[in-house]
Structure 1
Amino acid sequence: MNSLIGSRTRGAGAKLHVAALVATGLFYTNPAFAADVIRIASPYQTTTLDPMRSAAAGNIETYGQLYSRLLRRNSDTGALEPGLAEKWGISPDGKTYTFHLRDANFSDGSPITAGDVAFSLERVRSDKKSAYPAPLGALESVTAADSKTVLVTLKSAFAPFLGNAEIWNMAIVSKADVDKRGEEAAFATVPVTSGPYEVKQWKPNERLILEPNPHYWRKGYPKSDSTVELIEVASPETRIAMLKAGEIDAVRAVPWTQIDELKAVDTVDIRLEPSTTIYMTLLNHKRAPFSDLKARQAAGMAIDNKAMAKAITRGYAEPANTTLPGSVDFHDKDYPGIPYDPAKAKELLAESGMVGHEVKILAAADAPSQQTALLIQAQWQAIGLKPVIVNVDSGAWWDATGKGDYDAAANWWYNETPDPDLAVRWAVCGSCGSNSYNTFYANPKVDELVEQGTKEAEPVKRAEIYKEIQKITTEEVAQIPLYYAPNAVAYSKRLQGLKLTPSLQWTLEETSIGQ
Structure 2
Amino acid sequence: MDERVEALVMDFKAGRCTRRQFMRKALGFGVGVAALPALFEMAGERPGPSTLPAAAAAPRTLVAGIPEGISNPDPVILGAAGYGDIKVVHNNINEGIVRFKTGTVSLEPSLATSWDISPDGLSYTFHLRPAAFHDGTPVTAQAVKLNYERQIDDKNPYHFQGITYTEIVFSNVSKIDALDATTLRITQTRPAVTLLPNLALFAEGIVSPTALEKYGKDYAMHPTGSGPYKFDRWTKGVEFAVTANDKYWGGRPSVDRVIWKTVADNTVRLEQLRTGELDLTTLLDFKDVPAVRGDKRFKVVSGTFLATQYLLLNQHKPPLDKKEVRQAIQFAVNKANIQKVTFYGSYTVGAGPVPPGLLGYDKSLEDVYPHTPAKAKALLQQAGAGDVAITLLHKTEGVWPEEAQLIQADLQAIGLKVSLQGLEEAAFYSKINASEHQIALNDWVMDTGDPDNIMYSVFSTKRARQRMGYENPEVDKLNTDAQVERNPDKRRDLYLKASRMILADAPFVTLGYPQRAMGAKAGVDGLLVGPLGDVVIRGVKIGS
TM-score under structure 1 normalisation? Answer: 0.91
Q: What residue in structure 2 maps to residue 9 of structure 1?
A: none
Structure 1 residues 359 and 284: CA distance shift in structure 2, 3 A? same
1:321 aligns with 2:351: yes
**Distance across 1 between alignment mates of 2:537 and 2:507:** 37
Q: What residue in structure 2 maps to residue 160 of structure 1?
A: 194
Structure 1 residues 20 and 356: CA distance shift in structure 2, 3 A? farther
Q: What residue in structure 1 maps to residue 308 of structure 2?
A: 278
Structure 1 residues 437 and 376: CA distance shift in structure 2, 3 A? farther
Note if contact 1:273-1:487 (Cα within 8 Å) is conserved in structure 2: yes
Q: What SS does structure 2 have at the residue aligned with 1:187?
A: helix
Q: What residue in structure 2 maps to residue 141 of structure 1?
A: 175
* TM-aligned CA deviation for residue 263 of structure 1: 1.7
Structure 1 residues 276 and 436: CA distance shift in structure 2, 3 A? farther
**Distance across 1 between alignment mates of 2:484 and 2:7:** 54
**Distance across 1 between alignment mates of 2:380 and 2:350:** 23
* TM-aligned CA deviation for residue 273 of structure 1: 2.2
Larger Rg: 2
Gaps of 5+ in 1: 1-17
Note if contact 2:91-2:534 (Cα within 8 Å) is conserved in structure 1: yes
Q: What residue in structure 1 maps to residue 89 of structure 2?
A: 62
Structure 1 residues 329 and 23: CA distance shift in structure 2, 3 A? farther
**Distance across 1 between alignment mates of 2:175 and 2:482:** 22
Q: What residue in structure 1 maps to residue 490 of structure 2?
A: 461
**Distance across 2 between alignment mates of 1:20 and 1:340:** 56
Q: What residue in structure 2 maps to residue 308 of structure 1?
A: 338
Aligned partner of 2:87: which letter? I
Q: What SS does structure 1 have at the residue aligned with 2:538?
A: helix
1:50 aligns with 2:74: yes
Q: What residue in structure 2 maps to residue 131 of structure 1?
A: 164
Q: What residue in structure 2 maps to residue 14 of structure 1?
A: none
Note if contact 1:322-1:337 (Cα within 8 Å) is conserved in structure 2: no
Q: What residue in structure 1 maps to residue 289 of structure 2?
A: 259
Q: What residue in structure 2 maps to residue 40 of structure 1?
A: 64
Q: What residue in structure 2 maps to residue 15 of structure 1?
A: none
Aligned partner of 1:122: which letter? E
Note if contact 1:320-1:337 (Cα within 8 Å) is conserved in structure 2: no
1:291 aligns with 2:321: yes
Aligned partner of 1:447: which letter? D
Note if contact 1:273-1:489 (Cα within 8 Å) is conserved in structure 2: no
Listed as ranges, the matches of 1:70-85 within 5 Å are 70-85=97-112
Q: Alignment partner for residue 527 of structure 2, among 498, 507, 511? A: 498
Q: What SS does structure 2 have at the residue aligned with 1:327?
A: coil
**Distance across 2 between alignment mates of 1:249 and 1:403:** 39
Q: What residue in structure 2 maps to residue 100 of structure 1?
A: 127
Aligned partner of 1:57: which letter? G
Structure 1 residues 395 and 51: CA distance shift in structure 2, 3 A? closer
Note if contact 1:338-1:475 (Cα within 8 Å) is conserved in structure 2: no
1:250 aligns with 2:280: yes
Aligned partner of 1:312: which letter? T
Structure 1 residues 206 and 20: CA distance shift in structure 2, 3 A? farther
Q: Which moved more, 1:48-57 or 1:490-499?
A: 48-57
Aligned partner of 2:119: which letter? P
* TM-aligned CA deviation for residue 152 of structure 1: 0.3
**Distance across 2 between alignment mates of 1:321 and 1:468:** 13
Q: Alignment partner for residue 515 of structure 2, among 477, 486, 490? A: 486
Alpha-carbon deviations, 1:465-498, whole Å to 9, x = none? Answer: 0111111112222211111111121111111112
Note if contact 2:77-2:160 (Cα within 8 Å) is conserved in structure 1: no
Aligned partner of 1:201: which letter? R
* TM-aligned CA deviation for residue 501 of structure 1: 0.7
* TM-aligned CA deviation for residue 441 of structure 1: 1.8
Q: Alignment partner for residue 429 of structure 2, among 390, 394, 398? A: 398
* TM-aligned CA deviation for residue 323 of structure 1: 2.1
**Distance across 1 between alignment mates of 2:429 and 2:262:** 21
Alpha-carbon deviations, 1:390-422, whole Å to 9, x = none? Answer: 232323322322222221121212111111112
* TM-aligned CA deviation for residue 192 of structure 1: 2.7
Structure 1 residues 399 and 78: CA distance shift in structure 2, 3 A? closer
Q: Which moved more, 1:55-64 or 1:505-514?
A: 55-64
Note if contact 2:266-2:398 (Cα within 8 Å) is conserved in structure 1: no
Q: What residue in structure 2 maps to residue 10 of structure 1?
A: none
Note if contact 1:88-1:98 (Cα within 8 Å) is conserved in structure 2: yes
* TM-aligned CA deviation for residue 367 of structure 1: 5.2
* TM-aligned CA deviation for residue 23 of structure 1: 7.5
Structure 1 residues 512 and 278: CA distance shift in structure 2, 3 A? same
RMSD: 2.1
Q: What residue in structure 2 maps to residue 6 of structure 1?
A: none
Note if contact 2:127-2:182 (Cα within 8 Å) is conserved in structure 1: yes
Q: What residue in structure 2 maps to residue 330 of structure 1?
A: 360
1:470 aligns with 2:499: yes
Aligned partner of 2:533: which letter? L
Note if contact 1:329-1:418 (Cα within 8 Å) is conserved in structure 2: no
Alpha-carbon deviations, 1:274-316, whole Å to 9, x = none? Answer: 1111111111111211111111110110111012211110111
Q: What residue in structure 2 maps to residue 203 of structure 1?
A: 235
Number of matched pairs: 492
Note if contact 2:395-2:428 (Cα within 8 Å) is conserved in structure 1: yes
Note if contact 2:302-2:529 (Cα within 8 Å) is conserved in structure 1: no
Gaps of 5+ in 2: 26-54, 154-158
1:109 aligns with 2:136: yes
1:360 aligns with 2:391: yes
Aligned partner of 1:217: which letter? W
**Distance across 2 between alignment mates of 1:63 and 1:19:** 35
Q: Alignment partner for residue 468 of structure 2, among 436, 439, 450? A: 439
**Distance across 1 between alignment mates of 2:470 and 2:517:** 31
Aligned partner of 2:76: which letter? M
Q: What residue in structure 1 maps to residue 47 of structure 2?
A: none
Q: Alignment partner for residue 455 of structure 2, among 396, 411, 424? A: 424
Q: What SS does structure 2 have at the residue aligned with 1:275?
A: coil
* TM-aligned CA deviation for residue 24 of structure 1: 5.5
**Distance across 1 between alignment mates of 2:469 and 2:518:** 34
* TM-aligned CA deviation for residue 363 of structure 1: 2.7
Q: Which moved more, 1:362-371 or 1:313-322?
A: 362-371
Aligned partner of 2:146: which letter? F
Aligned partner of 1:356: which letter? D
Structure 1 residues 236 and 418: CA distance shift in structure 2, 3 A? same
Structure 1 residues 265 and 332: CA distance shift in structure 2, 3 A? same
**Distance across 1 between alignment mates of 2:541 and 2:398:** 34
Note if contact 2:103-2:531 (Cα within 8 Å) is conserved in structure 1: no
* TM-aligned CA deviation for residue 327 of structure 1: 3.0
